[in-house]
Amino acid sequence: MRSVDDQLARITASAVVPRPVKIAISEAQGLMCAEEVVTERPLPGFDQAAVDGYAVRAVDVALAGVVAPGADEDFDAGEAELDTLTEGEPIAVFLPVVGDVEPGSRTPIRLQPRQAVRVETGAPMPTLADSVVPLRWTDGASQKVRVAHGVDSGSYVRRVGDDVQPGDIAVRAGEVIGPAQVGLLAAVGRSRVLVHPRPRLSVIAVGSELVDIDRVPGQGQVYDVNSYALAAAARDAGADVNRVGIAERDAERLREVIEAQLIRSEIVVICGAVGGSSSRAIAEALGELGDLEVSRVAMHPGSVQGFGRLGRDEVPTFLLPANPVSALVTFEVMVRPLIRIALGKRDPLRRVIKARTIGPIASVEGRTGYLRGQLMREERTGAYMVQVIGESTTGSSHLLAELAEANCLVVVPSEAAKLDPGDEVDVMFLAQRG
């Protein structure tokens, strides 16, 4: 029986990262950047107002907001037009408004001393203006504005290159492209970007007992759960998924279906093709397409599984159990890391933390257990705590509803037959929903 680590090492050794491709930035979200995107122009490309207000020279509003002195105090207002001075009250400065600039304006305006120009956020700054008085500090007038608060030079102005300068790296190679990166790429004028593409993955369900979900199952038949569930898991991992659906168990027909998918896929997942004499015949038929081995792996659920590299391009191909929970857990442990490697991820494995068990957990000695669990955090101490879902302390492998409630997998080491309440255990985060 092969250990989980040995099987996973064998699988990840077959990983091939698809050649990077250049795609539209609107399609790049969630993918990993495969180039250093160097900025060619400054951002912003011109001095612009950071808020709605009035562009001014800071020196012309320096007295605004200053407490008025007493009559016997020496006070020089220069040529500033001030509100009536009342001892102990803040001073207000009046400036004539000589223009109005909107974002996108291409008509230059030159500001003269002791003048103001009404500006909107993103509007180009008038020549000689060095700051913006926010609208809330004024009376909003259109002819002569009353300024109640002064500003420092440079206040509320986005200077040329404040965000990025020419030669700066806007998006780095290896960085996942999210909304902010898409916005930055657009801001620096990039319509396309080089990325690691999503690996193409095909999912095939095998079994004469299977019917698609748009049909009513007959006697002895069940819905095809696996191809839908595994396709969803593959999309969640980042793959570009083709759900082939149900294939006949006949070895020759199945081989034809597999050959067709090997041409268009970087990964192929076949579920329901391990265990039993008919499955061995299928494995032998697929073995004609390349190196494929069905073996026992020291894990539960999903101990019987197959893996190999098939076709001319030696495409990694998985044979997973028919049981939906076993198939999903095996996918999580074995297939998902291969997808993440193909996406260029440096750490393809799920995040693992330590948690204390709430109740007893039974496992299978000699096999690493991956049991569905609910992870929670103790409010007072912040410590992680976990419990296995379901009435059985082993988390029975056939209960799909329990897996739907799980937010983690409890990883029980192979040398442990059971865990007691309060024992420390590794917990693997599953994707959050909602």
Same domain, 37 and 182: yes
- How confident is the model at residue 378, as a pLDDT? 87
Domain count, the chain: 4
Look at residue 71 in the predicted model and tell me its pLDDT.
56
Question: Do 215 and 330 have their domain in common?
Answer: yes
Q: Is residue 114 part of a domain?
A: yes
36 and 177 in a single domain? The answer is yes
Residue 166 covered by a domain:
no
**Is the preceding peptide bond at 301 cis, omega within 30 degrees of 0?**
yes
Last residue of a domain, one of 281, 314, 343: 343
Q: Are residues 37 and 178 in the same domain?
A: yes
Our CA dihedral for 403, 404, 406, 409, rounded to 10 degrees, sits at 40
Choose one of 283, 315, 343: the last residue of a domain.
Answer: 343
Along the chain (434 residues), what's the average pLDDT of each consecutive run of 10 residues? 92 87 94 90 90 94 81 60 73 91 89 93 94 94 92 94 86 92 91 94 89 84 89 93 87 86 93 71 78 89 91 92 90 95 87 91 89 89 87 49 79 89 91 56
CATH of residue 364: 2.40.340.10
On whether both 371 and 384 belong to a single domain, the answer is: yes
Q: Is residue 255 part of a domain?
A: yes
pLDDT for 432: 60
Whether residue 165 lies inside any domain: the answer is no
Tell which residue, 174, 199, 231, 198, has the closest CA to residue 313: 199
- pLDDT value, residue 433: 54
Last residue of a domain, one of 343, 366, 395: 343
Same domain, 217 and 297: yes
* pLDDT number for residue 434: 45
pTM to 2 decimals?
A: 0.76
Q: How far apart are CA 132 and CA 312, in angstroms?
A: 66
pLDDT at 230: 95
Establish if 34 belongs to a structural domain.
yes
In whole angstroms, what is the distance from residue 158 CA to residue 282 CA?
A: 66
Asked, for residue 163, whether it belongs to a domain, the answer is: no
Q: Are 317 and 308 in contact (CB under 8 A)?
A: yes
User: Is the domain of 209 the same as that of 153?
Assistant: no
pLDDT for res 393: 44
Please check whether residues 151 and 240 belong to one and the same domain. no
Both 261 and 222 in a single domain? yes
User: 12 and 26, same structural domain?
Assistant: no
On whether both 228 and 326 belong to a single domain, the answer is yes
| C-alpha torsion sign, points 339, 340, 344, 346 | negative
Q: Which helix H or strand E contains 261, and what residues bound it?
A: helix 251-264
Judge whether 31 lies within some domain: yes
Q: What is the CATH number of the domain that holds 126?
A: 2.170.190.11
Local structure of 151: helix, strand or coil:
coil
Residue 49: exposed, middle, or buried by beta-carbon count in 10 A (0-12, 13-18, 19+)?
buried
Token pair belonging to 384:
């992680």
Do residues 68 and 186 share a domain? no
For residue 63, the 8-state DSSP code is: T
Instruction: Write down the pLDDT at residue 380.
Output: 85
We report the CATH number of the domain holding residue 183 as 3.90.105
Please tell me the number of Cα atoms within 13 Å of 188 on its side-chain side. 25
User: Quick one: tokens of 25?
Assistant: 């930035």
Range of the domain at 335: 4-17+198-343
From CA 345, how far away is CA 276, in angstroms rounded?
Answer: 37
Helix axes 251-264, 277-287, angle to 10 degrees: 50
Kindly report the CATH number assigned to the domain that includes residue 316. 3.40.980.10
Token code pair at residue 57: 């020279």
Query: Is the residue at 434 inside a domain?
Result: no
